[in-house]
Amino acid sequence: MKAVSLYDPEWTDGDYRFRIDAYYYKQWNGFKMPFHSHPTAEMMYVISGRCTVETETESGTETFRLRKGDFILLDAEVRHRLLVGDDSPSRMLNVEFAFAPQTGAVPTLRAAAAAERALGEMLAGRRPYIVLRDTNDVYHNLKSLVLELDETGREDGWMVQLQMSELLIRVARLARQAEHDGKSYDPYVSQAIRFIRQNYDRDIQIRDIAAFVSLHPGYLQRIFGSGWAGR
């Protein structure tokens, strides 16, 4: 199958709808997946537990430790693998998707990108992966998408197409906010900064922020640098 990059300008130059190639819930435990790639884009969402996703690109190997509420959006042909330890099973929801010529009156990716600036900006910049932390909206969107697919079995239906458009818009907004807040796609940076902003008038300490984002205080300090020392 021909590789279908999420960032190919063709999808926003012409009239295309989403095509769902695969979707599934699965609980992994003590699993070590070999490196592989897909000809389509893939979203991997951690519903519970924790896992590690490693990617291989021209710039090298990257390791992402994901917990409940984290997700990674991989572009087509990005080599990656999933690692789950024996001590902490991970339940995940994966969706693999591409694009097909528009049929009927369903909304197109071009229309969504034109209406939502964040989505247009995201699709204009090619990234092998985006790693983000959810604010609950993405999971509810994914769950509704899967329920609709299970119920109707139609990927070209209005509800599926609308939910896929909404899903990418939510991802694009989170990506833009993360880039604005932390100049990074680290899944915890934007959440930590948001907590700080919401509690700027309190005497908060590093352990308060770490508890909010479910990280060890020492690890959070390493993310933000030595400026936190002594807090």
Q: Integer distance in angstroms from the first to the last C-alpha of the chain? A: 54
pLDDT at 196: 83
pLDDT at 141: 94
Global confidence as pTM: 0.78
pLDDT at 229: 41
Cα 62 to Cα 53: distance, rounded to the nearest angstrom = 8
pLDDT at 185: 46
Token reading at 5: 């990059």
For residue 98, report the phi and psi dihedrals to the nearest 5 degrees. -145, -150
Report mean pLDDT in 10-residue bins for the chain, 231 residues: 89 94 93 95 96 89 91 96 90 95 87 94 90 88 94 88 94 86 57 77 83 73 53 40
pLDDT at 16: 95
Cα 135 to Cα 120: distance, rounded to the nearest angstrom = 21
